[in-house]
Amino acid sequence: MKILLTGAAGSIGRVLIPGLTDRGHQVVALDRVPVPDGFDGVWHTVDCADPDAVAAALDEQPLDAVVHLAGHPGEASLPESLTSHVVTTAALLDAMVEQQIPRIVYASSNHAVGRTPRVESLGEDLGVLTRPRPDTFYGVGKVAAEALLSLYVDRHGLDAVSCRIGSFLPEPETVRHLSTWLSHDDCVRMVEASLTTTAPGYAVLYGISANTRAWWDLAAGRALGYEPRDNAEEFATRVPDRPQDEAEAAFVGGPFAGEAFYRPALDRASV
């Protein structure tokens, strides 16, 4: 497949580009930062919130799919979050409809359901049909981006897979990560399955590895062909206990659900 991958300079993009290329896909990179030294593929320096620039970049080559990673992976004001996650997704979707690019794989987040009390899901893994329950304005942005994808699937017949990624890291670093970790190799497997599964329509999966301590349901991902192979438990003896582990276990979103992240939705010049 020929794939446009946004957020190419980021931590996930830098793993997916070689991972998808090794699996026989052709990746066209896009990021708002300039091409990094040594990158030898096609690179578009574009802000995904600019619809004209996005349309022009997508128009430069025929494409089979878009993998949309570009966005700020943390908390911000509400307008910043909406621009970073919703406006960027909208610009890509409009260009995809115009140019008949049939599929998008979206880097959503566990923070779309991060305010779900974890106790509610114990004994029954958290499913993808749980109500949207963001823990931050970041999570609100992800919920809204997922809703937008669903709308474009229904209106225009696109295929879209929202991957609610847990903790993408070389290895787990905290007790929470023993449940939420997504290994580099499983991330490549997850995105490839989302790109190649037959006619998913609009689908959601949890982007975690096959962690012994997982409490998010992997069935939806498996139904799309995502078969994770790594397990955070292999690193458990190296993970230190910390005083905040218990508080981080209270909600799906861990620390993002805590009061440290409470802030007004809008930045005011006078404050």
Ligand X SMILES: NC(=O)c1ccc[n+]([C@@H]2O[C@H](COP(=O)([O-])OP(=O)(O)OC[C@H]3O[C@@H](n4cnc5c(N)ncnc54)[C@H](O)[C@@H]3O)[C@@H](O)[C@H]2O)c1
Per CB under 6 A, 109 contacts ligand X: yes
The nearest distance, CB 21 to ligand X, in angstroms, is 17
Per CB under 6 A, 119 contacts ligand X: no
The nearest distance, CB 215 to ligand X, in angstroms, is 16
CB-based contacts of 66, cutoff 8 Å, min separation 6 = 3, 4, 5, 6, 58, 92, 96, 101, 103, 104, 105
Per CB under 6 A, 19 contacts ligand X: no
Q: Which of residues 138-167 bind ligand X (CB under 6 A)?
A: 165, 167
Q: Which residue is nearest to ligand X (CB)?
A: 10
**With CB under 6 A as the contact rule, which of the stretches 47-55, 58-66, 227-235, 247-255 interacts with ligand X?**
47-55
Please say whether the beta carbons of 123 and 69 come within 8 A.
no
Tokens representing residue 180 in the block = 């939420």
Per CB under 6 A, 107 contacts ligand X: yes
Per CB under 6 A, 126 contacts ligand X: no
Per CB under 6 A, 206 contacts ligand X: no
Q: Strand locations in 69-152, DSSP E?
A: 103-109
CA dihedral 117, 122, 124, 126 (to 10 degrees): 40
Per CB under 6 A, 13 contacts ligand X: yes
DSSP letters along 3-62, please?
EEEESTTSHHHHHHHHHHHHTT-EEEEEESSPPPTT--S-EEE--TT-HHHHHHHHHTS-
The residues of the shown chain that bind ligand X, judged by CB under 6 A, are 6-7, 9-13, 31-33, 47-49, 69-73, 84, 88, 107, 109, 165, 167-168
